[in-house]
Each structure stands twice: as C-alpha cells, then as structure tokens.
Structure 1
Amino acid sequence: MAKYDKVDLERRMKGAVESLKHDLVGLRTGRANTALLEPIMVDVYGAHMPITQVATISAPEPRMLTVQVWDKSSIGPVEKAIRSAGLGLNPINDGNTLRLPIPDLTEERRKELAKLASKYAENARIAIRNVRRDGMDALKADENKKEISEDERKRAETDLQKLTDEIIKQADEAAASKEKEILGK
C-alpha cells in the first residue's frame, strides 16, 4: 500500500477536473471551436492518426471551421472521418480545404449536449471520489503500520474530505457553466 501523499492526491483530483474541462470544450455550442475536431481520428497512410497530424484546423468565422489538409491524397479520409464523427457537420470540399459550416443547434440537440456535459461531470466526480478512497486507504494503512496516530489519521481524513469537496465543486461549476452555454441561457 502506498504511503499517504496529499500533494499527489490533489494532483490526481485536479487532473480529473482538467480532463473534464477538456471533454467539455469538445461539446458544440453553436460557435466554431477548433477543439471540436481534435478528438477525430483519420485513417491515412495505413494508420489511425489524430486529425491534427494531417491537417490544420482554424476558425476564420464565428460559425465556420476550416480544415487545411496538408497532403491532397488525404482529403477524402479526413472528410469521411469528420462526417462519421457524429458531430452533425457536413464538410464542403474546396480542393485542399474542407469548410465546415456550424449549423444552429436544435432545442433537442441542446438538451442532449447538456445531458452529455452532466455525464462528463459525473465521471469526473467518480474519478475524484476514487482518488479520495485511495487516500483514505493509505491513511488507514499508515495507521495500521503505526506510522501515524488515530488522531493524525482523522485530521488528515478531514483535510482530504475538504479537498475532495473543493475539487468536486470546481468540476460542478465547470459543467454548470458549459450546460448554461449549451442551453443558451
């Protein structure tokens, strides 16, 4: 069993929040955002590669993304990957460049995206609670090995719970902000 390390636990909890924020950036809100396409993988050169390794993504207008494919032979696979990514985007092929108009979100789609944001937040809360559990287990193990007293363990558990509550609050705020943005409120 690992020794209790509050700094490591805090780093892991904050990592869960950062992961959540990264996931939330990819949710479409009706505005063009290059992060929307970053998770897309393209089958080119006999490999499965991130779109960012075969093209440059930019947002020249608030409701338009452009994908500048570096190798003209890769434009078809990139276009196919974007269409099949489930983002509701239809690329317009201009030779070397794909233009992606960002359509307005329907109310139904907004609600689906808000639910997805909630699901991402719940996954982050679960990850944070798992880190807390690891910390509690480490404290009990340290106490059993007589490395810390019962009072020290209880104090550390209280601190760990406060840290957990604070980090979960950050995750909830990030998700609530994104849901508000998605629902246009």
Structure 2
Amino acid sequence: MPKYDKADIERRMVGAVESLKSDLTGLRTGRANVALLDPVMVEVYGSMMPLNQVATVSAPEPRMLSVQVWDRSNVTPVEKGIAHANLGLNPMIDGQTLRLPLPDLTEERRKELAKLAGKYAEGAKIAIRNVRRDGMEALKEDEKKKDISEDDRKRMEEEVQKLTDRFVAEVDAAAAHKEKEILQP
C-alpha cells in the first residue's frame, strides 16, 4: 500500500494557507474589521465564551466597531473582556451597545504589526515545507518498497515541489497584501 497521497499533501498545504489568512485578519489595520475581536473571550454564565457567542459585532464606520450585546446582564463582562484582550481599544457603553473607536496607529505600531504579519507568513511557509518533506519521505519509502519506480518517484517529487511553490507564493501574496494594508496611513 503506497504511503504517498497527493490529495492529503494538498489539503495540508491549503490548511496552512487558510490558517495564515485567519491569523492575518486578526491583525489590526487602519480600518475597522470585525475579525479584530475574534480572539476576545468573555466570562459569562460562569464560563469563558467567545465574544461572537454573546454579541453581534459590526463596523458601522471605517474607524468604529460596534458590539451589540444580546443580554443586558452581559454588557459589563463584554466590556471587561475587550479591555483585557490588549487590543488598545476603549469601549464606550451606550445601553446594550458598546462602541469601540479605533485610534490611529502610530508609525512604530504599524511597523510592529507588519513585522508580525511577516512572522505569521514565515510560520505558514515552514508548515508548507514540512508537508513537502513528509511527501518526499513517503515517495522514497514507496520506492524502497517497490510500490513505485524511480522515474515515478522523480515525477511525483516534481509535483510536490510545484504544489509547494504554488502555496508559498500564495503565502507571500497574502502577507504582502496585509503588510501594504497595515503600512498605509
């Protein structure tokens, strides 16, 4: 039974790119983005819950987030959760709604965030290269077991390398786009 599975390799590389894109949406740019509050956890009903399970987040203006809390008794815990998330946001309570004005990013903070985007991209590239290594090892093992010929192994190694190149280019493009977005005043 051959160990090499091209579909599995591609699925794992897609997963690395999707994970990167998810990480990048959480990075703050100059504009309001509802994904900015995705990592916020709120202590309600005696347990920790993601913010999106107790409130609706929207971006009514380019520099403002609005959090509509569903249960009035959860307004204070939601405010505390946002304050403790270290996002640099100061919620203003307006009934069951919290308004979060986004302060302008300083040049220094923009550079830090761009560097962080680069770090996320490097992590995704490492994950993709690890998947490539696994694929190459599986091919060598299949050749050793005489499941495939040397020519087949070389042809399939080229396929794996092409997949790797394609996904690394996708990572680079996503990171470059995010860095440009962050550095734009």
The alpha-carbon deviation at position 2 of structure 1 amounts to 7.0
Instruction: Quote the sequence identity (%).
Output: 73
Alignment partner, residue 40 of structure 1: 40
Structure 2 unaligned regions, length at least 5: none
CA contact (8 A) 2:2 2:147 kept: no
The alpha-carbon deviation at position 103 of structure 1 amounts to 0.8
Correspondence 1:72 to 2:102: no
CA contact (8 A) 2:58 2:65 kept: yes
Letter of the 1:24 counterpart:
L
| TM-score, normalised relative to structure 2 | 0.96
Structure 2 counterparts to residues 130-141 of structure 1, below 5 A: 130-141=130-141
| TM-score, normalised relative to structure 1 | 0.96
RMSD between superposed Cα atoms in Å: 1.4
Q: How many residues align?
A: 185
Structure 1 unaligned regions, length at least 5: none
The alpha-carbon deviation at position 86 of structure 1 amounts to 1.6
- Once residues 141 and 49 of structure 1 are traced to their aligned partners in structure 2, the CA distance between those partners, rounded to angstroms, is 45
The alpha-carbon deviation at position 133 of structure 1 amounts to 1.1
Taking structure 1 as reference, are residues 111 and 2 closer, same or farther at Cα in structure 2, changes over 3 Å only? farther
The alpha-carbon deviation at position 95 of structure 1 amounts to 2.2
Alignment partner, residue 176 of structure 1: 176
CA contact (8 A) 2:93 2:99 kept: yes
Q: Secondary structure at the match of 1:3?
A: coil
- Once residues 30 and 60 of structure 1 are traced to their aligned partners in structure 2, the CA distance between those partners, rounded to angstroms, is 15
Which stretch of the first structure deviates more once superposed, 137-146 or 98-107?
137-146
- Once residues 127 and 77 of structure 1 are traced to their aligned partners in structure 2, the CA distance between those partners, rounded to angstroms, is 37
Which stretch of the first structure deviates more once superposed, 1-10 or 39-48?
1-10
Q: Secondary structure at the match of 1:23?
A: helix
- Once residues 3 and 48 of structure 1 are traced to their aligned partners in structure 2, the CA distance between those partners, rounded to angstroms, is 42
Alignment partner, residue 105 of structure 1: 105
Alignment partner, residue 124 of structure 1: 124
Q: Secondary structure at the match of 1:166?
A: helix
- Once residues 179 and 2 of structure 1 are traced to their aligned partners in structure 2, the CA distance between those partners, rounded to angstroms, is 42
The alpha-carbon deviation at position 123 of structure 1 amounts to 0.8
- Once residues 3 and 116 of structure 2 are traced to their aligned partners in structure 1, the CA distance between those partners, rounded to angstroms, is 36
Letter of the 1:146 counterpart:
K
